[in-house]
Structure 1
């Protein structure tokens, strides 16, 4: 589900997953699983780099991804360095929910993008979170 814009170009996309939030967090926090559920970020391969970041083959080219350190708060923020060197912060959380876990991803407008671009990004994220739900509940 996608909330209305909270401001121009920001959308919070969420999915409730019927699994304990810590299990969802542990699965989603492992970059080796990205290819299985995060097609908007990792379309082919994810490999570790010496500096603790990860190299991913993505739909928009080769990127480098740095994830928040493991934590007890469900924070899955990650910074993606795009092929042109631009770095994009992607806030993401796994929260306790009465039905298990709620995963929330904040889609933000990047410079030079349109409302339609933000909507398209939010749709990809919604699909990825649905895939994550199916895997975790499966």
Structure 2
């Protein structure tokens, strides 16, 4: 066993899973909510993007668009290591639930906790943006 830990971070968004998926799957929206990944305009096309992140320039490859709410993406770090990030948009009784799995790869325990908090903050920003766009009563 490698000892790589995983942590699942989620938030519930008062909007349909389809609306959440549409917004979250658009790479142009990443800088607005995924500060842990994208700090500037995302450059690329298709499924591969160059992203200026807090870690430096990274390459991000998303799975193809799909009807299942799967937004998994591989991030190739400046070190050359590629980290697979499972990300799902699920139906929830109150709208949608977004679940992100973070793995402790090349991270100290403190850095893993810090990254986990960054993901939680990112999901909170995603919720706030979508709920403002969706308006009341959604």
> Shared fold (TM-score greater than 0.5)?
yes
Give the match for residue 90 of structure 1.
85
* Unmatched runs of 5 consecutive residues or more in structure 2: 133-138
Find the partner of 2:19 among 10, 23, 48: 23
Aligned length: 130
Distance 1:52 1:38 in 2: 17
- Aligned mate of 1:74, from 41, 64, 69: 69
Say whether residues 1:106 and 2:101 are aligned partners: yes
In structure 2, the residue matched to 1:37 is 33
Matches for 1:109-128 after TM superposition, within 5 Å: 109-111=104-106, 113-128=107-122
Q: Which runs of 5+ in 1 are unaligned?
A: 1-6
Residues 8, 48 of structure 1: alpha-carbon distance in 2 compared, 3 angstrom cutoff:
closer
Moved over 3 A (4+): none
Structure 1 residue 115: deviation in Å? Answer: 2.1
Deviations 1:64-98 (A, max 9, x none): 10001000110000000111211110000000000
| Contact residue 9 and residue 115 of structure 1 kept, 8 A | no
Cα deviation, residue 8, structure 1: 6.2
Q: 2:126 aligns to what?
A: 132
Correspondence for 1:58 among 53, 64, 86 = 53
Q: Deviation per CA, 1:23-72: give whole Å up to 9, x if none.
A: 000100011110010000001121114x6401111111011100010001
Task: Calculate the TM-score normalised by the size of structure 2.
Answer: 0.89
CA contact (8 A) 1:9 1:118 kept: no
